[in-house]
Amino acid sequence: MVSFTVREVRDIIISMLVIAIIFAYLLNNRHINEGLILLIPSLLVAVGFGFVLHELAHKFVAIRYGFYAEFKMWVEGLIFALFTAFIAGFVFVAPGAVYIHGDHISREENGKISIAGPLVNIALALLFLALIPFVIKNPTDIIEFIFRTIVVYGFIINSILAAFNLIPFGIFDGAKVLRWNPIIWGITFVAAMFLAVKAYFGIY
């Protein structure tokens, strides 16, 4: 049974809000004005959910295998993300991670737990990509603007997140997936890279 502690819910909410504020600030050309306030709710959906649902996917699969799993935010990571965004003008976000506790995690279990996060991002990217034809390039009212922001940046960020996390080195999810099943890693990584390249070079 999946359950959440009060601290975990707090950490999820704070992480999502900080991520949304960071991306809103950068997309608003680093200006603090009414445009920033307008962007935050849209990016809370487009970006915040991408980050948090990625981590929660790890949690759900870990619990399915009988392990205890809890999301914990990284205060240092969020502070560093705020610093890079507000001082340096770029973003490197590491809001937190799911901590898994158990006696023994097999290579297969670890691989499946690890691939769950990128698969969620790929699914979200495909969902937003399917909505692209309904996006108005030059929105004239607030509803059109919100919808466009959610769809466009939801696709871009989730595509990049999937590809980034599938890098097969170090502590990235990709390294654990590769050790478990190189074929599945290869197929997933190619799919994520295809979406990331499409996002980078334009979606229209």
Cα–Cα nearest to 200, from 146, 156, 150: 156
Q: Residue 78 forms beta bridges with which residues?
A: none
Residue 55 annotated among the catalytic residues of the structure: yes
Tokens of 75: 């205060």
Burial of 106 (0-12, 13-18, 19+ CB in 10 A): exposed
| Cβ neighbours of residue 20 closer than 8 Å, sequence gap 6 or more | 40, 41, 43, 44, 47, 48
The active-site residue out of 55, 76, 108, 144 is: 55
Please tell me what DSSP assigns to residue 34. Answer: H
> How many Å apart are CA 139 and CA 117, to the nearest integer?
32
- Helix locations, 28-99, DSSP H: 34-43, 49-64, 75-83
Catalytic site positions: 55
